[in-house]
Amino acid sequence: MSDTDTAKGVTGEDEVVDLCRELIRIDTSNYGDHSGPGERKAAEYVAEQLAEVGLEPKIFESHPGRASTVARIEGTDPSRPALLIHGHLDVVPANAADWTHHPPFSGEVADGCVWGRGAVDMKDMDAMTLAVVRDRLRSGRRPPRDIVVAFLADEEAGGTYGARHLVDNHRELFDGVTEGISEVGGFSFTVSEERRLYLIQTAEKGMHWMKLTVAGTAGHGSMIHRDNAITELSEAVARIGRHKFPVRVTKTTRAFLDELGDALGTQLDPEDMEATLKRLGGIAKLIGATLSNTANPTQLNAGYKVNVIPGEATAHVDGRFLPGYKEEFFADLDRILGPNVKREGTHSDKALETSFDGPLVEAMQSSLLAEDPTAKAIPYMLSGGTDAKSFDDLGIRGFGFAPLKLPPELDFAGMFHGVDERVPVEGLKFGVRVLDRFIDAS
């Protein structure tokens, strides 16, 4: 942003789309290993945008190429606790051949949307945060309290090289921070012309990624083998993939169903999942997985030649457990797998759940209502996980609040890790206005 642009009164709304497009064009695909192509470049881009308006951002590289950017904005009242606004710069990989409209790293604007990998997960929020911060600093509007902005590496693989690295090695960056906001919350769900609900993420499931191993007897493929590792593992994988874990309603999900039921004028029964989910439309995918623990097989590996029975077979499973139901989850897993399957955790993290109350929640509601008279904020649980898990170790109370007003027909849940990912241009501009109000109200 040049001095000329500033003189012309360029606002956060004016530049949020370009910021989002530029971030999408930086390929920050996270393949789940030590590599992180593009993360350093993205961290440097963010640092340049922050430095341009007078901040002194720092880049932290936890491993070659794996970089995060952090800056602190001084508030007008140093006696107040600070607020953390964090987002991740990495994205899941995208196969361009699967995308039917625009290439995944093009950042093209078409049909009223910005298209590309990361458009909703979560370079939209990164762009909104940058736009708001830049606008406020250009116009000399300091926040009421200190704000720490963090743009992080590696969230899509558990945060080891991003949030976890900073929490373990640079916790002084977050001195005085008591609350934080980040992704997958604050988006709208249209009930009617008179009511639009905005889902605030106050809970998220825990994760346990695991490797399953079965040992058998190696031998010639032409022989009869009762001790076949692939057969044993396949049966276990099929059992776990088809298992229906029992419905367990946490306080967050109960509150969500009650609020949604009131808005719909009906009572929603979590025990009747089919009927309940039919009422949820496009957000059914997000909500359905928060009614129980889950375990989904994602990878299989065995053998090296068609006529050789291998001595070992392995599989990977993505397991998620509800707050308060971790022990039940593992007990169910071991019963389903049986004694011949070795289970080994590859990455684990805790479940989170906080209450839907306090001044920060009130600030969310008031800032949404100011921009959308039909708005009502309600709590919900995220079936996935975020970097809030790492910041929780510092006592930072986390919420998902990346405000977007969405068209009712948009399959928002399907955008996450999906093809043809996109975010409405007007949704980005709405988010900038809401976040700006939220900072003043918080």
Query: Looking at the annotation, which residues are catalytic?
Result: 90, 155
253 near 356, Cβ under 8 Å? no
Q: Give me the residue label for tokens 């590996």.
A: 301
Partners of residue 179 on adjacent β-strands: 83, 397
Torsion of Cα atoms, 288 then 289 then 295 then 299, to 10°: 90
402 near 184, Cβ under 8 Å? yes
Distance from C-alpha of 111 to C-alpha of 124, rounded to nearest angstrom: 17
Phi-psi bin for 420: left (phi > 0), alpha (psi -120 to 50), beta? left
254 near 355, Cβ under 8 Å? no
Find out whether the peptide bond into 122 is cis, omega within 30 degrees of 0: yes
**Rounded to the nearest 5°, which phi and psi values hold at 159?**
85, 10
Cα separation values, 404 from 111, 125, 341, Å: 17, 9, 44
Short-list 352, 361, 440, 346, CA closest to 391 = 352
DSSP tag of 356? S
Distance from C-alpha of 268 to C-alpha of 265, rounded to nearest angstrom: 10
Please give the single-letter amino acid code of residue 92. Answer: V
Q: Which two tokens stand for residue 261?
A: 């039921």
Q: What is the CA radius of gyration of the chain?
A: 23
DSSP tag of 247? P
Alpha helices by DSSP H, listed for 8-68, are 12-25, 39-51
Distance from C-alpha of 49 to C-alpha of 31, rounded to nearest angstrom: 27
Q: What share of the chain is helix, strand, coil (3-state, %, to 5)?
A: 35, 25, 40
154 near 161, Cβ under 8 Å? yes
Alpha helices by DSSP H, listed for 64-201, are 123-138, 163-169
Cα separation values, 88 from 124, 205, 436, Å: 10, 19, 20
Short-list 183, 178, 186, CA closest to 148 = 178
